[in-house]
Amino acid sequence: MLTFRIPEPHQVGLRMVRNALARHGLRTPAELNIAARIKQELGAGVAPCVVLYVDDPAVLLEAVVFNRGAALLIPHPVVVTGGERETEVLLRSSESLAGITQESVRGPLLDLHRRIFLALEGIAERHEAHLNVSPSLDVR
């Protein structure tokens, strides 16, 4: 997972991310306000957190014409979270996408990922982040 930090409050950072994506010809056809949903469904308050689903309609068309399953990966999620002092933006690493075997999906997805990365790199500082997930979860 790639992590970017913007030294601005969440609302300002979210606006900066949207504008940077638009400057790179990318769209966010859907958004999910995670914090609002948790508040509405569970009554719990959490830090602001919005998932932007990012795509380029031409890239999406290219991918789904050859493989309808590409719609599972495009639009590409970008998480924007933070608080009053800083915004954090999370993006899947390109390595996590390398295992996609169908070139008709992998090529457009990696191109979309690259463009999202460049948009974020232009407005934010990149930080190393590691997601610790246990490979063997005991679910009973």
- Under DSSP, the state recorded for 80 is E
Residue 108 lies in a domain: yes
Query: Cα–Cα distances in Å, from 69 out to 50, 77, 105?
Result: 25, 16, 8
What's the CA dihedral at 55, 58, 61, 64 to 10 degrees? -50
Residue 135 lies in a domain: no
Q: Does 45 reside within a domain?
A: yes
Question: Where residue 113 sits, what CATH number does that domain have?
Answer: 3.30.310.70
Q: What is the pTM of this model?
A: 0.86
Does a structural domain hold residue 119? yes
pLDDT of residue 70: 85
Q: Write down the pLDDT at residue 129.
A: 57
pLDDT tens track, the chain, 140 positions: 999 999 999 999 999 999 999 999 999 999 999 999 999 999 999 999 999 999 999 988 888 888 888 888 899 999 999 999 999 999 998 888 877 777 778 888 899 999 999 999 999 999 875 444 434 333 33
Give the range of the structural domain holding residue 14, as residue numbers without chain letter.
Answer: 2-128
Residue 19 placed within a domain: yes
For residue 34, the Cα-to-chain-centroid distance in whole angstroms is 13
Domain count, the chain: 1
Look at residue 139 and tell me if it is in a domain. Answer: no
Cβ–Cβ < 8 Å for 77, 53: yes
pLDDT at 71: 85
